[in-house]
Structure 1
Amino acid sequence: EYLERKIQKIVQVIENYNNNNFYMILIINNENLATYATNHTHHLSSIINKGNILIVSYKNESIPFKEVIPFLKTIEKKYMDNSLENRIDKNMILQETDRILNEFIGSPMAHITLRDLSENLKSTQKEIEPSFNLEEIAENNSEFKRSIEDIIRSIGLTIVKDTVFKETFVKENCKELRDKKIENLKDACDFLTIKKISERIHIDLLIFMGFKIYWDGLDYSKSKVVFSQQ
């Protein structure tokens, strides 16, 4: 009866409260929920069908947080997106990014990081706040990330993690690694270091190039790289 009264009250609140920023997580004992679902299908379905309401059932006082975490991440993403809209002019950022990358194509540089792009944007656009971080925004906003990646690919560039490369640079280094018959992971990473590529993306870049890594524990010097892309 207690659960019935509470859910009926929640249903009334939901039906009379129209707010996109309203979220609720209901954590209910599995046995009680099953009983209520059998006797009050209509009331329960009116809650379950709401995207901003999450019902989680538990047994033996153990709450399954694996259902709660994705729900919280959805809320977080929404607020991140709203924050982005309020903080920056997205169209201006995308246009300036396109301009900077086109200048990069004509430069002797072979790669540029998203951090470099951020600093370049801040130096040319005074209205951009000092804390602006293109990499962080891309990580937290999938739509914005896709827009950046679309620009990168549309002008013949490649992105691996946080670094934008000229495609010719990637292909030339891939060919050189293969021609040198480098099969040791440490040797491959040393080769990339000589090319002034950040250690943070060595593994990702090798995989992007088409190399398969056969790990021997965590020891780079004993691990192998084999080109697998046909």
Structure 2
Amino acid sequence: MPHSRSPLRPFAAALAALPLLLVASPATAFTLAFSSSDFGLNPTFSNVVDFTFEIEVAGPLAPGVYANPTLIGVEYQVNGSLAMGTPSGFPAFFLVRDIGGAEFYAQGSSLQFEISALADLSDGLQVSELVGGTGVFVFDGHETGTGRYHPALFELNADGTGLIRNSDNTGGINPGNGQMVDVEIGDEYVTELSFDASTLTLVPEPGLLSLVAISLAAIRRR
């Protein structure tokens, strides 16, 4: 009697191969994500204690120098109340930026960090895995010619300290006061940051798809 082929065999074979495919195919991008809730906050000029950042970097997460890496997109918001006498003259601000990577660099912004060759990236990227002492992670949202006062300069140090300040934004007429923007770093707001460098995660651990792949691989070995 001929032996009939189980209709589940092709599915089982595909499922068995799935872990290998997923493990062998690294992510084509990663996202740096952090917010004010991740830090201790000490406003020293104005009162800015609310911010979120998401920066999508093209390419796999790996050790190396990231000096203005190719970006897919940048989305961040910063808001707060302002001290009297700032260049803008505003009592408060709410900045929202959602732009592509090419536009981010074209407006004069930059991004700098280096991941250690010894970094264990299986659980994401922690600040302690960055190389250097001061300025181990620097996001400079500087804008030229856009008429905005408040794009941010965000800096982290290896010792668990950092700052978020307005960058030295220049050029363009601000619609709120009709004046040409010309502001130095920290003229609008300065907030000191504190954190645990070993636990502050800038890139989350691998997502659900990677976890499924690892689980399937473990089952297959049994």
> TM-score, with normalisation over the residues of structure 2?
0.21
Relative contact order: is structure 1 or structure 2 higher (C-alpha 8 Å, sep ≥ 6)?
2
Bigger CA radius of gyration: 1
Structure with higher helix content: 1
